[in-house]
Amino acid sequence: MSRRIHVLPGFGLSLGYTLVYLSLIVLLPLSAVFLKTATLTLQQFWDVISAPRVLASFKLSFGAALLAAAINAVFGLMLAWCIVRYEFFGKKLIDALVDLPFALPTAVAGIALTALYAPNGWIGSLLAPHDIKVAFTPLGVLVALIFIGLPFVVRTVQPILEDMETELEEAAASLGAQRWQTFRHVILPTLAPALLTGFALAFARAVGEYGSVIFIAGNMPMVSEIAPLMIITKLEQYDYTGATAIAVAMLLISFALLLAINLLQGWNKKGKR
């Protein structure tokens, strides 16, 4: 085996520093979660996870995250489309503000959304006469998760849309396709992988989200408690094992779902070839 001679120095130093720092800050502490869970028997683990209150929080966290990601996929695609293809007043500003959920601290987003959707808030007071309650219900959780997930979809779809060749659309049109048919059969399949990625990123972020949700959720047991809040609740009762079991379950479920989405995407690509 011939060794490539490297002119550049610093490989040992930079890689060594990277590995040590990564291990100290991320890997060692993270391994604590799994080592802690390993001290539980499977029965104990199951008892924590299958408690009705914990199960309800899982259903809410994963259900609301899926729904929010789906809503963001639809409206995020629309917004990206408008930014790329149309001209309108304030477009540059809107394009910049799409990233607001990345930059705005989650606690600030949380109290702002609560103020808007509370029964006496700007939006809440409009909905109250129709008997629609958003703040302090599962609907509030959904609103917060839509807020934090939107940029993931827009920012993954937007560059693909910008780089897309218009020739395909022109070919479709010249062959007699209606605009909707072109969108459905030419544009959407091209965007599908990016859209799915954006959906997956928005979903993954929403499942673990805490700050923007706890203010608007109302945190009623069995109704509007999210899974991360259950971890906090267990910690406040000094039930470290319980907290860890929930954390591991959350990590495993999100990992499995993301893996499934990745496989689906790979399979989708293969089918095209």
Pick between residue 56 and residue 209 the one whose CB is nearest to other proteins.
209
* 253 contacts other proteins (rule: CB under 8 A): no
Distances from the Cα of 252 to the Cα of 244, 256, 257, angstroms? 12, 6, 9
* 75 contacts other proteins (rule: CB under 8 A): yes
Q: What is the DSSP string of 205-216?
A: HHHH--HHHHHH
Longest dimension (CA), the chain: 78
Contact indicator for 257, 61 with CB cutoff of 8 Å: no
* 146 contacts other proteins (rule: CB under 8 A): yes
* 257 contacts other proteins (rule: CB under 8 A): no
Shortest gap between Cβ of 5 and other proteins (angstroms)? 11
Stretch that binds other proteins, among 44-52, 127-135, 197-205, 260-268 (CB under 8 A): 197-205
Among 60, 73, 195, 207, binds other proteins (CB under 8 A): 207
* 115 contacts other proteins (rule: CB under 8 A): yes
* 216 contacts other proteins (rule: CB under 8 A): no
* 163 contacts other proteins (rule: CB under 8 A): yes
* 63 contacts other proteins (rule: CB under 8 A): no
Pick between residue 131 and residue 163 the one whose CB is nearest to other proteins.
163
Stretch that binds other proteins, among 42-50, 206-214, 217-225, 262-270 (CB under 8 A): 206-214
* 141 contacts other proteins (rule: CB under 8 A): no
Shortest gap between Cβ of 73 and other proteins (angstroms)? 12
Backbone angles phi, psi at 221, to 5 degrees: -55, 140
Pick between residue 86 and residue 267 the one whose CB is nearest to other proteins.
86
* 36 contacts other proteins (rule: CB under 8 A): yes
Distances from the Cα of 216 to the Cα of 113, 172, 193, angstroms? 7, 47, 33
User: Closest by alpha carbon to 109, among 225, 217, 213, 218?
Assistant: 213
User: Closest by alpha carbon to 113, among 93, 94, 137?
Assistant: 137
Distances from the Cα of 176 to the Cα of 142, 180, 181, 190, 271, angstroms? 41, 11, 10, 20, 26
- Between CA 217 and CA 178 the distance in angstroms is 45
* 127 contacts other proteins (rule: CB under 8 A): no
